[in-house]
Chains A and B, each alone.
Chain A
């Protein structure tokens, strides 16, 4: 499935990396601890997180994931947005809480990392 569909399902707002809307989401992971994300992140993965600090984007860039979805409508600091824009990193925001976000993606057919 494409990033574009994910954005639609989550009523998402694309903050940066608009040119990646037609890329394939290979898998999805969810978490708020950077050390955990670092451990399970894979190239092509979309990560769902409540962590909106610049460290999240930095972790995303290092692990070469496809992009990051900030959940529950959390305010995203400008430093995070700046870092994402400078690196053309795909950053999306959704108002849904984590369980709703996962549920919506699952019902639309997205797979978790275990099913790869």
Chain B
């Protein structure tokens, strides 16, 4: 599914520059260690982490975008770093579990 379609259907807020791309899967974790061991390229990453080092993790695995859940405020320096490295950051007021259920609801497959 295209990133833009997911954004539109779930009303996700776009915090950075954006380029549309294909989302292949969903990865959920608040631990960068787990991103390093288990995330896949082109995954949509759901997390409550907002630190600048999330940009470092997204780039390492080449994930499609990160979605900050629970309405957590993303610091300006994280957004600036993300823009420098073409990392897309989205946000939602929903909890992680709730957003996960909505992603399944619009057709993303939980493998």
Interface residue ranges, A against B (CB under 8 Å): 28-33, 36, 40, 48, 50-51, 72, 97-100, 102-107, 112-115
Interface residue ranges, B against A (CB under 8 Å): 25-31, 34, 38, 46, 48-49, 70, 94-98, 100-101, 103-105, 109-111
Contact B70 A98 (CB under 8 A): no
Closest to B30 in A: A32
- A-B CB contact pairs (8 Å), 24 listed: A29-B95, A30-B95, A30-B100, A33-B48, A33-B49, A36-B30, A36-B70, A50-B29, A50-B34, A72-B38, A98-B29, A98-B96, A99-B46, A99-B100, A99-B103, A102-B100, A102-B110, A103-B110, A106-B100, A106-B101, A106-B104, A112-B98, A113-B95, A114-B98
B88 to chain A minimum Cβ distance, whole angstroms, is: 18
B29 to chain A minimum Cβ distance, whole angstroms, is: 6
Contact B110 A112 (CB under 8 A): no
Contact A102 B101 (CB under 8 A): yes
Contact A102 B28 (CB under 8 A): yes
Complex Cα distance, B110 from A106, in Å, reads 11
Contact A113 B97 (CB under 8 A): yes
Complex Cα distance, B70 from A40, in Å, reads 10
Contact B31 A40 (CB under 8 A): no
Could you say which of B28, B104, B105 contacts A98, with CB atoms under 8 Å apart?
B28
Q: A72, A98, A104, A105: which has the most chain B beta carbons within 10 Å?
A: A98
Contact A30 B28 (CB under 8 A): yes
Closest to B47 in A: A32
Complex Cα distance, B27 from A75, in Å, reads 19
A29 to chain B minimum Cβ distance, whole angstroms, is: 6
Closest to A98 in B: B28
Contact A113 B30 (CB under 8 A): no
- Residues of chain B within 8 A (CB-CB) of A50 are 29-31, 34
Contact B96 A30 (CB under 8 A): yes
- Residues of chain A within 8 A (CB-CB) of B97 are 28-30, 48, 102, 112-113
